[in-house]
Structure formats: C-alpha cells, structure tokens
C-alpha cells in the first residue's frame, strides 16, 4: 500500500458500534477508539482500531522505527497482527489482554 495523499487520525468516542479492522472486536457506543481517514490511491478509506490494538500498533511502530523500516514498508491497516506475529510480540499482547478481559464463570452445578 502506498502512502495516503490526505490523512487524518485521532481518538474518537463511538456514537454507534464499529468494528476494529485488526482484531474484529466490536467497539461499543461510548467507548473510545482510533480512527484514521485518508485518501489512498484515489479512494477514501476509513480504518478503526480498538484501544488494545492501538497499544499493539504503537509497539509495532516502535520496532519498525528502531529497525529503520522505510515508511512505505511499514505496517498498514489490517496487517497489524501479521507484523506483530513476525516481531514476536503478538502472543505477549494476547496474554496481557486476556488478563484484562477474562471474566470468571460461576461453576456449574
Ligand atoms: Zn482491535
């Protein structure tokens, strides 16, 4: 994917449900999420990421910057997990996320 000719992003508060373009999780109304709008090769696209994926994306970006990866070769939207897996940080992220989201079930009678 080439670099967008127009681009803006930021953290927004969801007014309706959205789907994270990386993990597929539903972003519920009232939750904060990352949104990027841009013009890629002549067409407008919007990408949304849930906050846990934003954290992972920051780590991936740090690794790519440290490794002096060319800007055009950097991870694009929808490919975050592939890069995170390649850099060996995906499993740890999944584990840390599981700790936060684990809900204990009551034992069955
Ligand atoms: Zn996500």
| Res 105 pLDDT > 80 | no
**Cα(2)–Cα(105) distance, integer angstroms:** 46
Nearest residue to 45 via CA among 37, 54, 56: 37
For 38, the token pair is 């841009």
Distance (Å) from CA 88 to ligand 1 centroid: 18
Distance (Å) from CA 11 to ligand 1 centroid: 14
> pLDDT tens-digit profile of 23-72?
999 999 999 999 999 998 889 999 999 999 999 999 999 999 999 999 88
- The pLDDT of residue 109 is 67
Could you tell me what percent of the chain has a pLDDT over 70?
A: 88
| Res 90 pLDDT > 80 | yes
Mean pLDDT of 103-109: 64
**Maximum distance among all Cα pairs of the chain, rounded to whole angstroms:** 60
């Amino acid at each position: 994917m080439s670099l967008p000719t127009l681009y803006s992003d930021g953290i927004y508060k969801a007014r309706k449900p959205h789907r994270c373009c990386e993990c597929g999780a539903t972003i519920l109304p009232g939750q904060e999420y990352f949104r990027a709008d841009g013009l890629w090769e002549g067409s407008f696209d919007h990408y949304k990421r849930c906050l846990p994926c934003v954290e992972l994306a920051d780590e991936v970006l740090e690794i790519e910057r440290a490794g002096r990866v060319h800007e055009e070769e950097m991870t694009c939207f929808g490919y975050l997990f592939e890069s995170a897996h390649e850099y060996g940080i995906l499993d740890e992220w999944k584990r840390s996320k599981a700790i936060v989201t684990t809900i204990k079930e009551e034992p069955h009678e």
